[in-house]
Amino acid sequence: MRELLSARGVAFEERDVSADRGALRDMVRRYHSRTTPTVVVGEEVVIGFDPRRLEELLNALESH
């Protein structure tokens, strides 16, 4: 995930939910997810590694 976002020049915040229980609680509360990666692009939440969907969302952001 890091590599995909970095290669596209996308700024991101990485939170280690295995080491930070507050981050885990926040992810569950906000995104109803206990799965990593959970990626938020704009208003869209992608749960699990889905590079095709991430590319679609990033492309859509770039075109605006």
> pTM for this one?
0.84
Tokens in use for 7?
A: 């290669």
Q: Which domains does the chain possess?
A: 2-62 (3.40.30.10)
CB of 46 closer than 8 Å to CB of 38? yes
DSSP line for 4-50: HHHHTT-------TTT-HHHHHHHHHHH---SS-EEEETTEEEES--
Q: By the 8 A CB rule, do 35 and 47 touch? A: yes
Nearest residue to 60 via CA among 38, 36, 44, 39: 44
Residue range 5-41, pLDDT digits in tens: 999 899 999 999 999 999 999 999 999 999 999 999 9
